[in-house]
Amino acid sequence: MQSYENHSRLDPAFHFFAAPVAVITFVLTISNLIRQFTIENVWHVVVAAAFLVAVFLIRIYALKVQDRVIRLEETLRMQRVLTEPLRSRIGELTVGQFVGLRFAPDAELPALVTQTLGNSWTKKDITKAIQTWRPDNFRV
Protein backbone atom coordinates (compact mmCIF):
# COMPACT_ATOMS: atom_id res chain seq x y z
CA MET A 1 0.00 0.00 0.00
CA GLN A 2 1.42 3.35 -1.02
CA SER A 3 1.77 6.06 1.63
CA TYR A 4 3.69 9.28 2.27
CA GLU A 5 6.60 7.28 3.64
CA ASN A 6 7.02 5.01 0.61
CA HIS A 7 5.62 6.96 -2.37
CA SER A 8 8.93 8.15 -3.83
CA ARG A 9 10.71 5.70 -6.07
CA LEU A 10 14.13 5.20 -7.52
CA ASP A 11 14.65 4.40 -11.18
CA PRO A 12 17.46 1.82 -11.08
CA ALA A 13 18.56 2.45 -14.68
CA PHE A 14 19.03 6.15 -13.92
CA HIS A 15 20.00 6.23 -10.23
CA PHE A 16 22.28 3.17 -10.20
CA PHE A 17 23.67 3.10 -13.73
CA ALA A 18 23.39 6.12 -16.05
CA ALA A 19 23.95 8.87 -13.46
CA PRO A 20 26.89 7.18 -11.69
CA VAL A 21 28.55 6.26 -15.01
CA ALA A 22 28.19 9.86 -16.24
CA VAL A 23 29.57 11.34 -13.00
CA ILE A 24 32.45 8.85 -12.76
CA THR A 25 33.34 9.39 -16.42
CA PHE A 26 33.41 13.16 -15.92
CA VAL A 27 35.59 12.88 -12.80
CA LEU A 28 37.99 10.45 -14.48
CA THR A 29 38.39 12.66 -17.54
CA ILE A 30 39.17 15.68 -15.34
CA SER A 31 41.66 13.57 -13.38
CA ASN A 32 43.27 12.45 -16.63
CA LEU A 33 43.42 16.06 -17.85
CA ILE A 34 45.15 17.16 -14.63
CA ARG A 35 47.73 14.37 -14.98
CA GLN A 36 48.35 15.01 -18.66
CA PHE A 37 47.22 18.28 -20.20
CA THR A 38 46.62 17.76 -23.92
CA ILE A 39 44.08 19.06 -26.39
CA GLU A 40 42.73 15.52 -26.71
CA ASN A 41 42.15 15.28 -22.93
CA VAL A 42 40.49 18.71 -22.93
CA TRP A 43 38.14 17.40 -25.60
CA HIS A 44 37.44 14.26 -23.51
CA VAL A 45 36.40 16.50 -20.60
CA VAL A 46 34.09 18.46 -22.92
CA VAL A 47 32.51 15.25 -24.24
CA ALA A 48 32.17 13.83 -20.71
CA ALA A 49 30.53 17.08 -19.57
CA ALA A 50 28.10 16.90 -22.50
CA PHE A 51 27.31 13.29 -21.60
CA LEU A 52 26.71 14.24 -17.96
CA VAL A 53 24.44 17.13 -18.91
CA ALA A 54 22.55 14.96 -21.41
CA VAL A 55 21.92 12.21 -18.86
CA PHE A 56 20.44 14.65 -16.35
CA LEU A 57 18.46 16.64 -18.93
CA ILE A 58 16.90 13.45 -20.28
CA ARG A 59 15.74 12.61 -16.75
CA ILE A 60 14.47 16.14 -16.07
CA TYR A 61 12.59 16.30 -19.38
CA ALA A 62 10.90 12.94 -18.70
CA LEU A 63 9.78 14.15 -15.26
CA LYS A 64 8.45 17.40 -16.76
CA VAL A 65 6.40 15.44 -19.29
CA GLN A 66 5.02 13.28 -16.49
CA ASP A 67 4.15 16.42 -14.51
CA ARG A 68 2.28 17.82 -17.52
CA VAL A 69 0.32 14.58 -17.90
CA ILE A 70 -0.48 14.59 -14.17
CA ARG A 71 -1.65 18.21 -14.43
CA LEU A 72 -3.94 17.27 -17.32
CA GLU A 73 -5.31 14.17 -15.59
CA GLU A 74 -5.89 16.01 -12.33
CA THR A 75 -7.52 18.97 -14.07
CA LEU A 76 -9.98 16.60 -15.73
CA ARG A 77 -10.63 14.80 -12.43
CA MET A 78 -11.10 18.08 -10.55
CA GLN A 79 -13.56 19.35 -13.16
CA ARG A 80 -15.58 16.21 -12.51
CA VAL A 81 -15.24 16.08 -8.71
CA LEU A 82 -15.14 19.70 -7.54
CA THR A 83 -18.09 22.03 -7.37
CA GLU A 84 -18.12 25.78 -7.83
CA PRO A 85 -16.38 27.95 -6.69
CA LEU A 86 -13.45 25.50 -6.39
CA ARG A 87 -13.81 24.29 -9.98
CA SER A 88 -13.22 27.82 -11.28
CA ARG A 89 -10.01 28.08 -9.19
CA ILE A 90 -8.29 24.98 -10.63
CA GLY A 91 -6.04 27.24 -12.73
CA GLU A 92 -4.56 28.76 -9.56
CA LEU A 93 -2.90 25.47 -8.60
CA THR A 94 0.79 25.00 -9.39
CA VAL A 95 2.18 21.94 -11.14
CA GLY A 96 3.70 20.81 -7.82
CA GLN A 97 0.32 21.07 -6.13
CA PHE A 98 -1.29 18.99 -8.89
CA VAL A 99 1.46 16.40 -8.43
CA GLY A 100 0.72 16.23 -4.69
CA LEU A 101 -3.05 16.13 -5.11
CA ARG A 102 -2.92 13.13 -7.45
CA PHE A 103 -2.60 10.87 -4.40
CA ALA A 104 -5.84 12.14 -2.84
CA PRO A 105 -9.00 10.11 -3.31
CA ASP A 106 -12.05 11.86 -4.73
CA ALA A 107 -13.66 12.10 -1.29
CA GLU A 108 -10.72 14.07 0.18
CA LEU A 109 -10.02 16.17 -2.89
CA PRO A 110 -12.36 19.16 -2.28
CA ALA A 111 -11.07 19.74 1.26
CA LEU A 112 -7.45 19.37 0.19
CA VAL A 113 -7.88 21.78 -2.73
CA THR A 114 -9.51 24.29 -0.36
CA GLN A 115 -6.62 23.95 2.11
CA THR A 116 -4.04 24.11 -0.68
CA LEU A 117 -5.46 27.29 -2.19
CA GLY A 118 -6.09 28.92 1.19
CA ASN A 119 -2.70 28.15 2.70
CA SER A 120 -0.40 27.97 -0.36
CA TRP A 121 0.43 24.38 0.49
CA THR A 122 3.40 22.71 -1.18
CA LYS A 123 3.43 19.22 -2.65
CA LYS A 124 4.90 17.97 0.64
CA ASP A 125 2.17 19.67 2.73
CA ILE A 126 -0.50 18.10 0.54
CA THR A 127 0.91 14.59 0.61
CA LYS A 128 1.29 14.73 4.40
CA ALA A 129 -2.37 15.73 4.77
CA ILE A 130 -3.80 12.86 2.71
CA GLN A 131 -5.59 10.32 4.90
CA THR A 132 -6.36 7.54 2.40
CA TRP A 133 -3.80 7.28 -0.37
CA ARG A 134 -4.73 6.76 -3.99
CA PRO A 135 -1.61 5.04 -5.34
CA ASP A 136 0.24 6.24 -8.43
CA ASN A 137 2.32 3.28 -9.55
CA PHE A 138 3.14 4.63 -13.01
CA ARG A 139 5.43 7.52 -12.08
CA VAL A 140 9.12 6.89 -12.61
Please give the pLDDT value at position 10: 81
pLDDT tens per residue across span 51-104: 999 999 999 999 999 999 999 999 999 999 999 999 999 999 999 999 999 999
pLDDT tens per residue across span 92-130: 999 999 999 999 999 999 999 999 999 999 999 999 999
- Confidence (pTM): 0.80
**Half-sphere CA count of 31, side-chain side, radius 13 A:** 6
CA angle 50, 55, 61 (to 5 degrees): 115
What sign does the CA torsion over 62, 63, 67, 73 have? positive
* Inter-CA distances, 135 with 67, 73, 77, Å: 16, 14, 15
- 9 confidence band (pLDDT: 50, 70, 90): confident
Can you give the residue ranges of every domain in the chain?
A: 12-129
Q: How far apart are CA 30 and CA 49, in angstroms?
A: 10
**Which amino acid, residue 93?**
L
